[in-house]
């Protein structure tokens, strides 16, 4: 493999892209969250209206996406730390990525039931 091409289009590059994308998504969520929370000081009624719009199945799905982004970002961040600070980290970065993905999938499947249950209750009112 030529020098400087360790991540060219392989798993490491995709994990780098996913890490950056999830970081940006989390930043935008936090930005919107600060704005809507600050709205309570401007107009408590407007704040209540905005918060009421969050009680929909679509927002429940978006919240699931937020959990997915935070969880992947956190787990992959631990992997990046291991790659950077463990002498054997670069050698095992691919295996660590697949471990992160496996843990992420297991946890996300476990988190799916409460989200689906909430969305079903919202749609069908039970």
Which domains does the chain carry?
11-124 (1.20.1300)
Reported pTM: 0.78
What tens digit of pLDDT does each residue of 56-78 get?
888 888 888 999 999 999 999 99
Q: Any idea which residue has 């929909």 for tokens? A: 56
Q: Tell me what pLDDT residue 3 has.
A: 58
pLDDT above 80 for 122:
no
pLDDT-based confidence at 82, cuts 50/70/90?
very high
Residue 108 token pair: 């996300």
Count how many Cα atoms sit within 13 Å of the Cα of residue 58 in the half-sphere of its side chain. Answer: 3
Whether the per-residue pLDDT at 101 is higher than 80: the answer is yes
Element (H, E) at 26: helix 11-42
* Most confident segment among 11-15, 37-41, 102-106: 102-106
DSSP codes, 56-110: SHHHHHHHHHHHHHHHHHHHHHHHHHHHHHSTTTTTTHHHHHHHHHHHHHHHHHH
What b/e string do you get for 95-121 counting C-beta neighbours within 10 Å, with b at 16 or more?
ebbeebbeebeeeeeeeeeebeebbee
What pLDDT score was predicted for residue 61? 84
pLDDT score of 91 more than 70: yes
CA distance 81 to 73: 12
């Amino acid at each position: 493999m030529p020098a400087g091409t360790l991540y060219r289009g392989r798993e490491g590059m995709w994990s780098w892209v996913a890490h950056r994308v999830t970081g940006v998504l989390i930043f935008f969520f936090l930005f919107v969250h600060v704005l809507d929370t600050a709205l309570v000081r401007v107009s408590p009624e407007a704040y209540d209206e905005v918060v009421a719009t969050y009680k929909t199945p679509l927002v429940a799905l978006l919240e699931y996406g937020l959990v997915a982004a935070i969880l992947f970002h956190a787990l992959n961040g631990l992997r990046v730390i291991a790659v950077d600070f463990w002498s054997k980290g670069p050698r095992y970065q691919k295996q660590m990525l697949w471990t992160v993905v496996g843990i992420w999938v297991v946890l996300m499947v476990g988190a799916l039931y409460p989200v689906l249950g909430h969305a079903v209750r919202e749609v069908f009112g039970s």
